[in-house]
Structure 1
Amino acid sequence: MTVSKVPDGQRNQIDMPHWRTHAGKMAEEDNLEYYITFPNPNFDYKNQNGDDFVFLIDEEKVPVVILFGWAGAEDKYLSVYSKIYEEKGLITLRYISPVKYLFWKQNRMAKIGEKLVKLLNDLNFGNHPIIIHCFSNGGAFQYQFFSQALKLSSKPMQIKGVIFDSAPGKRRVLSLFRAIRAIRGGNKLLDIPLCFLMTMFFTTMWLLEIIQNYFTKKRIFQMNPLENLKNEENKWPQHFIYSKGDILIPYQDVEYFASYRKSMGVDVTLKCYDDTPHVRHYPYNRASYTHSVCNFMNKCLNMYS
């Protein structure tokens, strides 16, 4: 693997070193491009301007936050969220699943999950407390395969909790159409026919997956994290951030999923906004969003410490 430093212009406000790591000469299907940020060695954990949330448990085990981006996300937008944690002196790892894997080559998602687990082991993060923050159905779908890979790993990970931002939601044709428009930009009127054709294509693929799962013993993983994760064996705490104004993931879906998980004994907390757009709750509510995720992390890190 090769490691290259991200240009200085992309450093965050507290001047933490950023590293971009990618697979060198591997085939395209096996590429794993991610961003990882380590805190400044001189970061003062004990003096953070009177902040109520100080997350250092052990200087040798700085908490790690893994962020799984939404379908079609760009790292420059996902990095806005990782700075919430980086400003607390935490390690962050950002990964965005390729759109073609989410919608078309879903069999690749399992390999990505395995590679992410291997990466954490290679970085010796096995004993660090880990929080996962996933966005929309795309991030939740990647979390599903990451969670499955954890079960197959010979080295246990200290997963403390999961944050779902604008997820998960049921599969709907209208939501799919809106998602495709959002990924392609969503503003060009002439783009509507193409988005409609793509929606019909993927809807047909959904139906074929359902038929194949019904008539064959071979399990086909559908991009349907709400159903896939309902009965997940892991019981670590889960926090849901969502909005009644989200037109891609209805708030009823999130509340249904959260209620279901709670009935299975999972510690569930909710943060609902009235009118913020999909995966944009933070830009509209920076203070309350930051307090929400930090409060959840504080609870998770102290629950088993």
Structure 2
Amino acid sequence: MVFFSETFGIRSLQTPARRLLELLFDCSVENRPVLFHVFSNGGAMLYRYVIEALHTHKPFKNIQVAGTIFDSAPGRRNLRGALRALATVLASTNVLLRYFLLVAFATAAVVLRTLLYPLTRLVHQSHYDALLRAPSRWPELYLYSQADAIIKASEVQHMADARRQLGVAVKAVDFSDSAHVSHMRVYPTYYSNLCAAFLSDCAGGSPP
């Protein structure tokens, strides 16, 4: 879904996003503050549809979101980074199948997201652009690194700055030398303290 369906403009992650929100009702937590912890671009893509559902489907509007933590996300369509991520996912796959899927993805990405982008953006807005203008206004914490080979630090910084200009309470922390989605592994205490402090701040109030 992340690498192929969404690349072709198929909103395949909409259904999992709604199921995730329905699960909150099943767990009877709709009247309690909810904190989203989003990892990498796959998580950001799913979260994009979560936000849309929260603001367009009446039953979900009762969910009280306290804030969101972004770990190594979001980033724009970075072909090199996406290929690295896909190669990691396919590491245990047959070699021939792995290279076929990598070539197929690269070809589709170049055609749809580069050559045909002026047309495809009218049909399917990228997750990055959607999150830039997301209607949510609860606090956001961005955890990223200059050493991330998949998500560019500059793109996370741009997102944080853009959201801050919209009035969102934003905090961004650059871990400098930790790899993609590895900040907690390298700095367990610091990472945990940042998340705990953010959760504590969010618990003081839940903006709409």
Compute the TM-score of the two structures, normalised by the length of structure 1. 0.60
> Structure 1, residues 178-216: CA drift from partner, whole Å, max 9, x if none?
222222229x998885424431223323344642444xx
Distance 2:95 2:19 in 1: 40
Q: Is the 8 A contact 2:138 2:206 kept in 1?
A: no
* Alignment match, 1:272: 174
Q: Secondary structure at the match of 1:303?
A: coil
Residue 116 of structure 1 and its aligned partner are, at CA, apart by 2.0
Structure 1 unaligned regions, length at least 5: 1-96
Q: Which has the larger radius of gyration?
A: 1
Q: Which moves more between the two structures, 200-209 or 259-268?
A: 200-209
Q: Which is strand-richer, 1 or 2?
A: 1
Name the residue aligned to 2:145.
243
Structure with greater helix percent: 2
Matched residue, 2:39: 135
Q: How many residues align?
A: 203
Q: Does 1:284 align with 2:192?
A: no
For 2:52 and 2:186, the matched residues in 1 are separated by: 34
CA RMSD of aligned residues (A): 2.7
Separation in structure 2 between the aligned mates of residue 174 and residue 161 of structure 1, nearest angstrom: 31
Residues 1-305 of structure 1: pairs in structure 2 closer than 5 A = 101-103=5-7, 106-155=10-59, 156-185=62-91, 193-194=99-100, 195-206=102-113, 207-208=115-116, 210-214=118-122, 219-221=123-125, 224-304=126-206
Deviations 1:46-84 (A, max 9, x none): xxxxxxxxxxxxxxxxxxxxxxxxxxxxxxxxxxxxxxx
4+ residue runs of structure 1 moved beyond 3 angstroms? 97-106, 188-194, 207-210
Q: Provide the rounded CA distance (Å) in 2 between the counterparts of 1:272 and 1:191.
A: 36
Deviations 1:23-58 (A, max 9, x none): xxxxxxxxxxxxxxxxxxxxxxxxxxxxxxxxxxxx
Higher relative contact order (CA 8 A, sep 6+): 2
Contact 1:134 1:165 in 2 (8 A): yes
Q: Percent identity over the alignment?
A: 25
- Cα drift, residue 98 of structure 1: 6.5
- Structure 1 residues 98 and 204: CA distance shift in structure 2, 3 A: closer
SS of the residue 2:50 aligns to: helix
